[in-house]
Structure 1
Amino acid sequence: MLRKGSIAASLFWLSAAWLVLALVTTGILLTDLYSRTLDQTLTETLDFHVESLTGALLEMRDPQSPEVALADPRFERPRSGWYWIIRGDDGRLVNLSTSVVGIDLPGVGTAADALGRSSEIINDPFGTQLRMVERSVTLDGTTYRITVAGNLTEILELVSSFRGQTFIVLGAVGVMLAAMSAFVARIALRPIARLSRAVEAVREGDSAEVSGTYPTEIAPLAEEVNELLRSNTQIIERARNQVGNLAHGLKTPIAVLRNEAAAKKGALADVVTSETEKMSNMVSTYLERARLAARTSVVGKKSDATMVMLRLTRVMRKIHPDVTIAFQRPDASLPWFRGDEADLEEIAGNLLDNACKWSKGQVGVRLSSERGDKGAQLLVRIDDNGPGLSEADAQKVLRRGVRLDEKTPGTGLGLDIVKELVDVYGGSLELKRSQLGGLLVELRLPTARLGGLVRPEGA
C-alpha cells in the first residue's frame, strides 16, 4: 500500500500524471494522423476518378457518351455521397452519375492549384459532408469542368471510431503502466526500507552496525552510517576512559584525606571524614552519570597541524628550558588534520612532553604527509636522544596506566590517552628506535584538504 507522503507514493503519482499527459497526447496525435491519412487517401481516390473521367472524355471525344463513366458502384447509388458531374464552361450540365439524379450539386468555388485542380468541402442536401475535387479539361476548343465528390462523413465516422478505440486501448495501457510503476517503485525502494529497518535495529540495540547488501546508490549511505556509528562508539569509549582517568586521579587524594581524618580525633576530623564521604559519593554518582554520556562528534572539523606544533614547541621550550627542540617546519602544501584542534594538541602535547622528560637535551619534531592503505595521512615524527625503549617495553608502555619508571612525575595515563584519541580518528601510533639514540614516535592521522583555508604567514 502506498502511504501518503512516501517516496513510493510520490513516484506513483508523478508517473501517473506523466502517463495521463503522455497517453492523452499520444491519442490525440494518433487520431490526427489517422484522420489526415484517411483524408489524403480520399483525396487521392478522387484525383484518380477525375483522371479516369478525363481520360474517358478525351478518348470518346464526346462528353455525353455513355462510355464516359466510372466503374465504382457507389456512383450508381442515390444518396451514397459519391458523385461526379461534367459541366460546360458556361455551367450547363453535360453528364453526371446516377447518384446525382435529383440533387443540385454546386461546383467547387475555390481557386485551382498549380496542377489546375481545386478542392472544397461541402454538405449535400442530405447532410452528408463531401470532399469535392474539380479539374478543367479542354476538348475541341470547349472547356469542361469535371467534378468528383467523395463521402467525407464516412471518414469522420471512421476517425471517431478510431479515436474511441484508441483511448480505450491507451487507457488500458495506462492502467497497466501505472500498476507497473507502483510495483517497480515498491521493488526499487525495498533497499531503503531494509536500510531503515537496519538503522532502527541499531537504535533499538539489536545490532551494532547497519548490515546487509545494498544497491550502489545507497551503499555509500549505509557505509557512512556505519562509520558514524563506529566514530560514536569510539568517542563514547574515550569518554568512559577519561572518566576512569578522572576517577583514578581523585581516588587516591580522597582516600588519603579519609585515612588521615580517621587517625585523628576531634571536630575537624569528624568534619573532614563526613565531607570526604560526601565527596566520594558525589564523585561516584556523577562519574557514573558521565560514563553514560556521549561526547560531541568530531565529524566535519579540521585543524592546522603546523600551527598546533608551533604553539606546542614554544610552550615546551618554556617548560623544559634545558631541552633543545628542533622543529622542521613543512611547506604550505602540508594537508590539515581532519579532526578537532584540541584533540591534536592533547595527542602531540603528551608525546612531545614525554620526549622532553626522557631526553638528554635534544628533541626533534617533523611533519609530513604520506599515502597509505587509508589514503593520505598526516605523519608526525617526534624523536629524542634519551634511553629509548626496547620492543617489549614499547608495547607495554601503551597499556592503560603502565609506567616504566615510577620516579618520574605523572599518572602513566598520557600515552594511554594518546592511543585512545588516535584510535578514535582511525590513526596509528608506533614507537621505534630513533637515529638520535632514543625513542622515535611515529603518529599517523587522517588528513583534510585545505578547502580554501589559509595558513597565516609568518606564524
Structure 2
Amino acid sequence: MKKGSIAASLFWLSAGWLVVALVATGFLLTELYSRALDTSLTETLEFHVESLTGSLLETGDPRAASITLNDPRFDRPRSGWYWAIRGGNGELYNLSTSLVGIDLPILQGDAGQSGVRTQVLNDVFGTQIRLVERTVTVGDNSYEIVVSGSLTEILQLVGDFRGQAFIVLGAVGAMLAIMSAIVARFALRPVGRLRAAIESVREGDSESVDGTYPTEIAPLADEVNELLRSNAQIIERARNQVGNLAHGLKTPIAVLRNEASNDKAGLAEIVLSESDKMSNMVATYLERARLAARTSIVGKKSDATMIMLRLTRVMRKIHPDCTIAFQRPDASLPWFRGDEADLEEMAGNLLENACKWSKGQVGVRLLSERGDNGALLLLRIDDNGPGLSEADAQKVLRRGVRLDEKTPGSGLGLDIVKELVDVYGGSLELKRSALGGLLVELRLPTARLGGMTKGSGIDSI
C-alpha cells in the first residue's frame, strides 16, 4: 500500500485501534482472572476455617491431635499455607507443621457481623499471604482460628496467564490486521475501477466513464461524465464563436482593402497596411482557436512510428536529393497522447526544415524518455546543414522570424510547432547536431502502449 493512500490510512487506523483494544483486553482479562483466583483462595481459606472450627467444637480441646487439615500444603515449610489456634491472650495452642518456628501476626480491626477478618501480609520469608481469622467460643473460653494461603502462587499464575493471553491476543490482532487490510483493499476496489475508467477516457479507449459503482462512488462517476460532456460543449461553442467572429470580420476587412487599393492617397496606404495586419491577426487567432479546441479534447492517441514512416516517405518525394535515415524504435515505444494531425503538423514542419537546410543528409529517431511527470516521447531530427548558433536558435523560435529571407517560406512553420508544443505541455529545443548541422529535440506526452509497429533497424529513404 502506498503512503498517504486511503487503504493505508484505514489499515493504520484500524491497526492502532486494535493494538489499544487488545492491550486493554489483555489487562482486563488478567485483572478478572486475578480477582477470580483471589476470591477462590478466600473461599478455600474460609472453608478450612470452618473445618478447624468444627473439629475444635467436636473435641472441645484446642490441643487435640485430631484437629488437623488434610491439605499437604500445610505440611510443607515456607509454603505460605499455615493454620493456628490461639487463645484470646495470644497463647498458641495448636498449629500446622508448616508454621513451626514462625509467628503469625495478630490481625487488627473489627471482624464484622460474620465474625471473620481477612488481610494480606508477608511472612518472614517474603511470601505474600492472605490470612483469614475467626473467633470461636467453646464453653467459657474464646479461641482465634487463623488460616493463611499463598498469594505469591496466585501472582505467578496471573503472570503466566498474562503472558499466554498477550500471545493469543497478539495472534488474534495479527489476523484481524490482515483481515483489515484485505477488507480495505476489497472495499476500495470500486475506486480502482473508477480510476481505470477515467484513465481509459484520458487515453482514448473510451468516451465516458462506464461501469456500475457503489452508492458512495456512483455520483462521482456521473459528475465526471457530466464534466466531460460540459467540456466538449464549451469547446464547441468557443470554436463556433471564434469562427463566427472571424467570418464577421473578414467581409469588412475585405471591403476596406478593396476601397483602399483603388486609391493611392496616403490614408489609403495606411488603411491597406492596417487591413493586412488585421487579416493576419484574424488568421492567426483562428488557427490558435483551432489548435486549442482540437487538443483540449481528451481521449486521443497516435502511433508516432507509423506517422514518422509516412512523413519520411512523403519528404523523399518532395526532396529527392536528401537521404533521410529513420531509425525505427522497437514495439515498446509509447504512443503520442494527442491528435494524429497535430503530430503530423509538428513533425512535418521540423522534418521539412531539416530537409530544406541540410546538405543531403537527415537523421530521424523516436525514443522514450523519463520525465518528471512520467514517460515522454522524444523525437530527434538532425541534419548536416549549416546549423544555428545558440543566439540564433533562441531567435528563430519567435513568431515570424526568419534568418534567411532567400529561402521560400513564411517563417510560421516553427511558430505553429511551438504553439502546438505549448498546448500539449511539451518542449522544443534546438542544439548542435553531431552531423554538423541542427539538432531538433521535440518532447511530447505519451499514452499507454497499444498497436505498436514491429521491427527495428535503419530505413534509408
Please indicate the TM-score interval, normalised by the length of the shorter structure: 0.5 to 0.7
Cα separation, 2, equivalents of 1:175 and 1:261: 89
Cα deviation for residue 270 of structure 1 reads 6.8
CA displacement at 1:31 relative to structure 2: 0.8
Partner of 2:29: 30
Match of 1:219 in 2: 218
Compute the displacement of 1:162 (Å).
Answer: 0.7
Matches within 5 A, 1:177-188: 177-188=176-187
Q: Distance in 2 between matches of 1:233 and 1:102?
A: 102
What displacement does 1:6 show? Answer: 2.2
Identify unmatched segments of 5+ residues in structure 1. Answer: 295-459
CA contact (8 A) 1:243 1:290 kept: yes
Query: Which residue matches 1:151?
Result: 150
Query: Could you say what secondary structure the match of 1:108 adopts?
Result: coil
Corresponding residue number in structure 1 for 2:66: 67
Cα deviation for residue 266 of structure 1 reads 4.3
Percent identity of paired positions between Structure 1 and Structure 2: 71
Counterpart-to-counterpart distance in 1, 2:213 and 2:71: 71
- Aligned counterparts of 1:197 and 1:18: Cα–Cα separation in 2: 32
- With CA pairs under 8 Å and 6+ residues apart, which has the higher RCO, 1 or 2? 2
Q: In the alignment, what sits opposite 1:101?
A: 100
| Structure 1 residue 13: Cα displacement | 2.2
Alignment correspondent of 1:129: 128
- 1:13-56 per-position Cα deviation (integer Å, ceiling 9, x unaligned): 22222222111111111111111110010001101111111122
Unaligned runs of 5+ in 2: 294-461
Cα separation, 1, equivalents of 2:138 and 2:76: 29
Q: Normalised by the size of structure 1, how large is the TM-score?
A: 0.58
Q: Matches of 1:227 and 1:261 in 2, distance apart? A: 51
Amino acid at match of 2:185: R
1:102-158 Cα shifts (integer Å, max 9, x gaps): 322233234323311111112223322111100001010211100011111110100
Superposed CA offset, 1:309-358 (max 9, x none): xxxxxxxxxxxxxxxxxxxxxxxxxxxxxxxxxxxxxxxxxxxxxxxxxx
Residue number in structure 1 paired with 2:289: 290
Letter in 2 for 1:247: A
The alpha carbon displacement at 1:235 in A equals: 1.3
Asked whether the 8 Å contact 1:57–1:68 carries over to 2, the reply is yes
Offset at residue 236 of structure 1 (A): 1.3
- CA drift of 1:161 comes to 0.6
**For 1:173-198, what per-residue CA distance to the aligned partner results, in whole angstroms no more than 9, with x for missing partners?**
22222232233223322322333343
- Alignment correspondent of 1:311: none
SS of residue in 2 equivalent to 1:217 = coil
Separation of aligned partners in 2, 1:227 and 1:114: 82
Q: Which residue of 2 aligns with 1:317?
A: none
1:91 equivalent in structure 2: 90
Partner SS state of residue 112, structure 2:
coil
CA distance in 1, matches of 2:165, 2:3: 33
What residue number does 2:278 align with? Answer: 279
Q: Helix, strand or coil for the counterpart of 2:132? A: strand
Alignment RMSD (CA, Å): 2.5
The Cα shift of 1:274 comes to 5.5
Per the alignment, residue 331 of structure 1 pairs with: none
Aligned mates of 2:173, 2:206 — CA distance in 1: 44
Show the counterpart of 1:160.
Answer: 159
- Deviations along 1:394-430, one digit per CA (max 9) or x if unpaired, are xxxxxxxxxxxxxxxxxxxxxxxxxxxxxxxxxxxxx
Residues 53-73 of structure 1, C-alpha deviations (whole Å, 9 max, x = no match)? 112222222222233222222
Query: 1:5 aligns to what SS in structure 2?
Result: coil
What residue is the counterpart of 2:425 in the other structure? Answer: none
Assess if the C-alpha contact under 8 Å between 1:110 and 1:119 holds in 2.
Answer: no
Partner of 2:197: 198
Residue pairs, 1:200-279, within 5 angstroms: 200-258=199-257, 264=262, 266=264, 275-279=274-278
- Quick one: which amino acid aligns to residue 95 of structure 2? L
